Structure 1
Amino acid sequence: MLRFTLRQLSYFRATAALGSIASAAKELGVSTAAISAAIDNLEAIAGTRLFNRFPAHGVKLTPSGEILEQMARGVLAEAEKWAQGARNLRTDAGGKVRIGTYLALVYVFAIPILMRNREIWPKVELDFVESSHPNLLEQLNKGHIDIMMPYDLCFEREGYDVVDLAKVEAKVVLPASSPLAGRKRLALGDLEGLSYVRLDREIPGRTMLDLLYARGIKPPIAFSSSSYELVRSAVGKGLGFTFSMFQPHNAITYQGDRLVCIPLEEPLQQVRIIAACRKGRLQEDIIRNVISTSRHVLEAADSRN
């Protein structure tokens, strides 16, 4: 059982910062007796002196006191985080939040984020916008969307409030009928001779095909589409393989074929999904709450993959 309080730690820190019990008492609006009692209690618990007292010259931390003051700083910082989380949960902020992201991410995350937010923030209405990276960035800058959730590939963070949501890596998507489907992991060499089904996209950075070429693997392109589900369906019919950052809950395509998602022995690409909003908007309860909930949803999905 703890034998000290956060208030006593705050008295201890204020005294260390100001170098005087009297100054700390004045700063905090309490009596010098309260400060002294807090320090005496902490010294009794620690079994050592925290301050050297100098009559008429205040106090100074002992070596032990310096160590414990740093620890107290960390405890108080964590306590403030907890308090902020509690304040966020109490908030009744409501309204509409528009989230812009890629179509492939919407398929996987939109509904879990929507349902989780409805559970915690019933007064918040979410609206998802699916588009290309350049268009989403333009809509964010114009205020047409409130939050953009892209990959961090070449995203210029300056000028935005940015929160990292989850780190993901590309996995190979194959039909369940493939001879490789039972493997736990694949080497890049296992992809030699296979055709590639390409998802056309407008996302900054090198494409998965570019990364394959850089490793000396140049698969023929069997099919291309900007539709995430159409690419999955083509893979399911055996036209080739593709890549996905996440294994969707539904491994069945629209055509009724089962897919498998297999990680590589050496990741071909690792990226972060981020949440970005215009500078200053992260201070708004409604924006901060939606981003926080989204992070928990994505982190949970990442742990399952």
Structure 2
Amino acid sequence: MLRYTLRQIEYAVAISDHGSVAAASARLNVAQPTLSAALAKLEQQMGLQIFIRRHAQGVSPSPAGLRFLSEARNLLSHAQDFQRGMTAAGTAVEGELSLASFATIAPAFVPALIKGFMSKHPKVGFRLAEGTQDELFAGLRSGITDLALLYAVDMTSEFNVTPLASFTPHVLLPGDHRLARLKRVPLTALRDEPFVLLDIAPSRTYFTRILESAGMTPRIAFASPSLEVVRGLVGQGLGWSILVTRPFGDHAHDGEALAVRPIADGAERGVIALASLKQMRKTTLVSAFESYCMHHFRAIGS
């Protein structure tokens, strides 16, 4: 733990520059007793005498004080550079942005967001992370993550939440499923068929809630935290699923055809949002990226 403050250092350097406590007091507009007390405490904390006091002649640095003042000026210079750098980081659209994304959202949206934002602000770099909602929350709370792109489900009051877009969940069927001929599929028509669950929070509770709202208890045959594994299992005819994210092209990784159909009886929409920790002051970079994301999602529709 530091035993001194930058304010004490500034006072000592000012006293040296002006040759006396009285002159430094007038220059800084700080009371003489305040300066004298700060200097005395600093000397005590450092265990050395910085100045030689001469009655009616001001002060002059002691031999040890000369070395101290040299290092003190260097320290203050670094502190001023640090302040200037941090001020620039807080007001300029440049620097590094730490962006985390929910695992199923990242492939669909993050690359385009980064490319579009960097084309407008070439001095910006990104540090990326993907994970579950709990992992995203932990990154925000620790300060490692500036912003998290996620579904606005089970959010707590400690976060700022900026909604970006909402998407209607869909039924995912094997391409040759008997219901694939329908334009919209009622969930109840799938009541007795095996279900493939995207088993990652908060998707798990979100999709379960949709089924419960339709009066259904799903017969879960398979569960996976991977969006593509879920799509692959459905493509192989091992069950059906409900998803929000829809990758380009209605085929699984192995080439099997998939049928994507709206839910006939409607369902709770999935809201994609940006989250940040309320106790962290937003920099200009963070605010600029939030604004860009809002315009981006508005342009692509939902």
* Same-fold status (TM-score > 0.5): yes
**Distance 1:201-1:302 versus aligned 2 partners, 3 A rule:** farther
**Distance 1:252-1:282 versus aligned 2 partners, 3 A rule:** farther
C-alpha separation in 2, matches of 1:184 and 1:216: 22
C-alpha separation in 2, matches of 1:186 and 1:287: 41
Task: Confirm or deny: 8 A CA contact 2:174 2:236 kept in the other structure.
Answer: yes
Cα deviation, residue 125, structure 1: 1.8
Cα deviation, residue 133, structure 1: 1.3
- Aligned residue pairs, count: 212
Counterpart for residue 181 of structure 2: 182
Task: Confirm or deny: 8 A CA contact 2:100 2:129 kept in the other structure.
Answer: yes
Task: Confirm or deny: 8 A CA contact 1:133 1:202 kept in the other structure.
Answer: yes
Q: Within 5 Å, which residues of 2 pair with 1:132-281? A: 132-156=132-156, 158-203=157-202, 206-279=205-278
TM-score, scaled relative to structure 1: 0.63
C-alpha separation in 2, matches of 1:265 and 1:272: 20
Secondary structure at 1:262 match in 2: strand
Q: Within 5 Å, which residues of 2 pair with 1:85-104? A: 93-104=93-104
Per-residue CA distance 1:36-78 (angstroms, 9 max, x = gap): xxxxxxxxxxxxxxxxxxxxxxxxxxxxxxxxxxxxxxxxxxx
Cα deviation, residue 122, structure 1: 2.0
Task: Confirm or deny: 8 A CA contact 2:188 2:214 kept in the other structure.
Answer: no
Counterpart for residue 292 of structure 2: 293
Structure 2: stretches of 5+ with no match in the other structure: 1-90
Per-residue CA distance 1:97-151 (angstroms, 9 max, x = gap): 1222211111211222122122222222223311111221111011111101222
Q: Within 5 Å, which residues of 2 pair with 1:38-77? A: none
TM-score, scaled relative to structure 2: 0.63
C-alpha separation in 2, matches of 1:141 and 1:148: 11
Task: Confirm or deny: 8 A CA contact 2:104 2:245 kept in the other structure.
Answer: no
Counterpart for residue 85 of structure 1: none
Counterpart for residue 129 of structure 1: 129
Counterpart for residue 118 of structure 1: 118
Counterpart for residue 31 of structure 1: none
Q: Which amino acid letter does the alignment assign opposite residue 276 of structure 1?
A: A
**Distance 1:259-1:115 versus aligned 2 partners, 3 A rule:** farther
Cα deviation, residue 294, structure 1: 2.1
Task: Confirm or deny: 8 A CA contact 1:173 1:260 kept in the other structure.
Answer: yes
| CA RMSD between the two structures | 2.3
C-alpha separation in 1, matches of 2:92 and 2:209: 47
**Distance 1:137-1:119 versus aligned 2 partners, 3 A rule:** same
C-alpha separation in 1, matches of 2:299 and 2:237: 31
**Distance 1:301-1:195 versus aligned 2 partners, 3 A rule:** farther
* Percentage of matched positions with identical amino acids: 25
**Distance 1:264-1:294 versus aligned 2 partners, 3 A rule:** same
Per-residue CA distance 1:2-30 (angstroms, 9 max, x = gap): xxxxxxxxxxxxxxxxxxxxxxxxxxxxx
Task: Confirm or deny: 8 A CA contact 1:92 1:123 kept in the other structure.
Answer: no
C-alpha separation in 2, matches of 1:205 and 1:252: 23
Cα deviation, residue 232, structure 1: 0.9
Task: Confirm or deny: 8 A CA contact 1:168 1:302 kept in the other structure.
Answer: no
Task: Confirm or deny: 8 A CA contact 2:98 2:128 kept in the other structure.
Answer: yes
C-alpha separation in 2, matches of 1:204 and 1:186: 20
